Amino acid sequence: MTNLFHWQLPHPVIASSSPLTAHLRAIHHLFAIGAAAVVTKTISMQPDMRTGGCIRYGELLFNRDGYSRRTLSEWEADLETLRGQKVIANIAADTPEDVANLARRVVSKGAEIVELGLSCPSVEGGPICISPDKLGPFCRAARKAVDVPLIVKLILQTSTAGNRAMISCLKNEGINGVSISDTLPGLLLDVHGNMMLGGSGGISGSPLKPLVLKSIYDIADMNVVILGMGGISSGQDVVDYLRVGASVVQVCSFLMRNGVQAMENLVQEYRSLASKNISCEAAQPKLCALQGASYSDANPI
Ligand SMILES: Cc1cc2nc3c(=O)[nH]c(=O)nc-3n(C[C@H](O)[C@H](O)[C@H](O)COP(=O)(O)O)c2cc1C
C-alpha cells in the first residue's frame, strides 16, 4: 500500500494531467487499467479554445496543449460522478480570487485533493508562476478557500537554492505537497526555420528524468509530500523516483506515446520489482539512504 495524504493507494503510479485525463470516459478507463489515481486535465474558469497540439521529437514530446477545452460546469458534473474515486482536480486561473473560487467549486463536487497547475509553460505569456513571490498569493487564496490537501505543480529549477526557496515559500503558505515537474519550456524549429506548433511550448518525456530526480533530491528533506514526474516509462523509473524522495509518481508522455494500456505493464513492472524486496522507499529523513555508485558500474564512455 502507498499513502498519499488520507488516501491509501494500491501502488504509487498515478495518471498525470494531460489530454488522457480530459474526459470522464478516459478517466474511468485509466482506473479500469490500474491507475492508482488520476489527475484531471487542468480545469479553468473558461474553456481554453486556443489551438494547441503535441508532437514527437526524438525522445521528447513537445506540446502547446494549454488547459481543458471543457467548461467548468461540465467538469463539475464529471467530478460529481467521480465522487469517492481517487481523482485529483488540477486547476488554474489568472488571479488568486479565481483560483480560490475554482478550488471551492471542485471541492464542493467531491475533489478530495487539489493540484494547482500554475506552471503550465504552454499558455500564452509563459508560466503564470515561476517565482515564490508570484506564487505566494495564489497559494494563500487557495489555502483559505478549502481545507483539503493542496498540491502545487512546479517546473523544476536548476539550482538547489531555487528549488529549496520555492518549497519554503509553499510551506509558509500552507501547501501540503508538490508535483514536480511540469513540462519544461522549450522551442523547436522545423527545417525552414519556422517555430513548430507556432511558438514555445512544453517539453516532456524521458530526457526530463535526471533533471527531475536531481530537483527532488534537492528538496527531499524538507518535509513536504512529493509527487514525482518526468519521463517515467518503466518500473525501474518508478523505483528511482521513490528512492530519491517521491511518495508517488505521475505518468504522461509514456502513455501518450504507447497508448494508455501501457499503464498495466508499468504497474506490473513496478510490482515485480517491489516484490523482490527492492527497497523502493526513500528512508525518512532520506538523503542519507543514497550512496554514490562506483564509476565502473556506470558504463563509462
Ligand atoms: C500533451 C500534454 C498536455 C499536458 N497538459 C497538462 C495540463 O493540462 N496540466 C498540467 O498540469 N500538466 C499537463 N501536462 C504535463 C504532464 O502532466 C507532465 O507533468 C509532464 O508531461 C511531465 O511528465 P512526462 O514526462 O511523464 O510526460 C501535459 C503534458 C503533455 C505532454
Which residue, judged by its Cα, is nearest atom 29 of ligand 1?
18
Does the beta carbon of 229 sit less than 6 angstroms from any atom of ligand 1?
A: yes
Per-residue pLDDT tens digits for 158-196: 999 999 999 999 999 999 999 999 999 999 999 999 999
Nearest Cα neighbor of 153 from 67, 35, 244, 32 is 67
Q: Grid coordinates representing 74?
A: 461540465
- For the chain, how far is it from start to end, CA to CA, in angstroms? 40
Which residue, judged by its Cα, is nearest atom 10 of ligand 1?
17
How far does Cα 88 stand from its chain's mean position? 11
Question: Quick check: helix, strand or coil at residue 65?
Answer: coil
Please confirm whether the linkage preceding 234 is cis (ω < 30° from 0).
Answer: no
Domain boundaries, the chain: 2-298
Does the beta carbon of 65 sit less than 6 angstroms from any atom of ligand 1?
A: yes
Distances in Å between the Cα of 216 and the Cα atoms of 18, 95, 100, 228, 289 are: 22, 28, 27, 7, 14
CATH 3.20.20.70 fits 2-298, yes or no: yes
CA 182 to ligand 1 center in whole angstroms: 6
The confidence score (pLDDT) of residue 268 equals 97
pLDDT class of 122 with cuts at 50, 70, 90: low
Which atom number of ligand 1 is nearest to the Cα of residue 16?
17
Does the beta carbon of 41 sit less than 6 angstroms from any atom of ligand 1?
A: yes
Please confirm whether the linkage preceding 132 is cis (ω < 30° from 0).
Answer: no
pLDDT class of 266 with cuts at 50, 70, 90: very high
The amino acid at 66: G
For the segment 100-123, the average pLDDT, to the nearest whole number, is: 90
Does the beta carbon of 157 sit less than 6 angstroms from any atom of ligand 1?
A: no
How many other C-beta atoms can be found within 10 angstroms of the C-beta atom of residue 199?
A: 10
Taking all residues of the chain, what is their mean pLDDT, rounded to a whole number?
92
Does the beta carbon of 153 sit less than 6 angstroms from any atom of ligand 1?
A: yes
CA 17 to ligand 1 center in whole angstroms: 6
pLDDT class of 298 with cuts at 50, 70, 90: confident
User: How much of the chain exceeds pLDDT 90, in percent?
Assistant: 82
The confidence score (pLDDT) of residue 132 equals 84
For the segment 272-287, the average pLDDT, to the nearest whole number, is: 66
Query: Which has more confidence, 93 or 284?
Result: 93
pLDDT class of 107 with cuts at 50, 70, 90: very high
What DSSP string runs through 150-209? EEEEE---SSHHHHHHHHHHHHHTT--EEEE--PEEE--B-TTSPBGGGS-EEEEEGGGH
Question: Quick check: helix, strand or coil at residue 39?
Answer: strand
Q: Which of 5-14, 28-37, 133-142 has the lowest mean pLDDT?
A: 133-142
Single pTM value for the model: 0.94
252, 256, 258, 266: which to mutate for ligand 1, most atoms within 8 A of CB? 252
Question: Quick check: helix, strand or coil at residue 237?
Answer: helix
Q: Is 287 a residue whose pLDDT tops 70?
A: no
Which atom number of ligand 1 is nearest to the Cα of residue 181?
19
How many other C-beta atoms can be found within 10 angstroms of the C-beta atom of residue 185?
A: 17
